Amino acid sequence: MHAGQLSLWLAATVALQALVGCGDDSTDPADDAGSADADVDVEDADVSFEAETEAEADVTTGSLVVTVVAAEWPSFERPPIAGAVVGLEAPGGGRAEQTTGADGRVAFHGLHWAAGTAAVTGWHAGHALGSRVGIVEADGDVELPLGVPAYPPAGFVAVSGRALHMADEAHELAVSASLPHDRHAGTGPAWSIDVPPDRAFTLIGVETHLLAAPPSGRGVAQVIDRWTLREHPAVTGPVTADLDFDATTTPTPTTIRGSFPIGLRAESPLALDAYGYFWATTLSSSLTALLALPNRIDVSADGTAFEFEGEYLQLPRTSDPLTVYALTRPATGERSTTVVTGWPASGTAAVTFLDLPTMLVPATPGTRHPLHDPISWTAYDTGLGVVLQVVRDDRTVWTVYGPPDATTLAVPQAPSVADVAGLVGSGLVEGLLTLYRREAAGHYNAQAARSWGISLQP
């Protein structure tokens, strides 16, 4: 991959799958629902643990209520899941399982919170596994999201076609849309995306070609040849729709020049050798639309910032633009992204990045690490959410949410009825550790930093 092509954008946007709570990449553990509810409408059950010693018999025990919800991209709604099996790893040891009722809830009693933390894992056919670990009594009721490993969602519809009148069909083409969709970026005029049915949308095409990279080896230089738009009615089945760069009315982008600071510790890998990039998107597209790119971006002479020239395209009727700034190491997959509201602008962007976690166990990429053994890392920021995604064939099959500011995490055991082999398989899978901060409304991660892939052995 030549850094600077649209393929760099395509690689960097993988981090965004963790920003919006996608079905295959959900990182949106909802706020806890509050303290335990004595009127929970489920079949409450005491947890069966090993016999207590006489001294332990007087220890006050507590409860844990878990609500299992569907985290199915691109919906922000979280409906409860009935019939999900929830496995509990109790503080101090012991396991129990329950099945959720119509309200998606189960309640476990008899927990000795003074003995440590709890972990819960949910399973429901058709969903990925989901876990929350490091639960303490003060967390109160907890919500456990289960995503869907299929991407794009099964109900989406294929829209495909060709880009007509490209300046050169050897150039790169990106095609996106004004509503949630999977993305296309590649060489040549053929393209295909999948969109939700029954909603009209705008198609966005952009043609680019690579120039010689800046001498620093950390920059991008490319020509943004042209943009094109096409309004499209709602679809109910597969359709073809060509994009024409010689259309009667072609959009005029806005040119910008500016910079954004790196702002990380001097020894951070992102400060030492990362590429910088930026693009624009929209909340209504679940951050999948592509509406800005750099013509040129390179690290500053003093190594403290990335300086850029670029352009963005304002869609008609767009009220929710977002600008994404990224630091990425394409060779390792590490990246840090920051999302701010509004279109990109000239001048110095007021953004801050989260630093990469330094992996301690395992300490090097490629080391085989047992799936259920603890991993650990050093973090350089505080007040962060923590999530580990277990990825097989580019789909997240298990999502593990850690407590805030955790620096160690282990994948729990799944409920006894879970089809772990069907989801995870028996070969190596990839673990992606992400540290993040949510934006105020909770729709996406305003900041996220992702580790290199951990080789996990089931």
Domains and CATH numbers, the chain: 6-10+151-348 (no CATH), 45-146 (2.60.40.10), 358-457 (2.60.40)
The pLDDT score that the predictor gives to residue 7 is: 53
The pLDDT score that the predictor gives to residue 46 is: 53
The pLDDT score that the predictor gives to residue 63 is: 95
Whole-number CA gyration radius for the chain: 23
The pLDDT score that the predictor gives to residue 107 is: 97
Q: Which residue in this structure is represented by tokens 């053994």?
A: 373
DSSP, residue by residue, 174-220: EEEESSS---EEEESSEEEEEE-TT--EEEEEEEEEE-PPPTTSS-E
Torsion, Cα of 22, 27, 32, 33 (10° steps): 10
Taking CA atoms, 12 is separated from 9, 271, 357, 421, in Å, by 5, 17, 17, 30
Q: Which two tokens stand for residue 207?
A: 């043609």
Q: How many CB atoms lie within 10 A of CB 176?
A: 24
| Predicted model pTM | 0.88
Three-state DSSP class for residue 56 = helix
Taking CA atoms, 111 is separated from 107, 128, 306, in Å, by 11, 27, 52
What does residue 11 show for φ and ψ, rounded to 5 degrees?
-65, -45
The pLDDT score that the predictor gives to residue 49 is: 46
Positions in the chain whose pLDDT score sits under 70? 1-60
Taking CA atoms, 405 is separated from 129, 330, 398, in Å, by 22, 26, 20
CA–CA separation, 69 vs 104, rounded Å?
7
CA–CA separation, 85 vs 418, rounded Å?
8
The pLDDT score that the predictor gives to residue 37 is: 34
The pLDDT score that the predictor gives to residue 47 is: 54
What does residue 18 show for φ and ψ, rounded to 5 degrees?
-90, -5
What are the residues whose beta carbons fall under 8 Å from the beta carbon of 23, sequence distance 6 or more? 71, 72, 73, 74, 147, 148, 149, 150, 151, 153
The pLDDT score that the predictor gives to residue 187 is: 95
CA–CA separation, 149 vs 145, rounded Å?
13
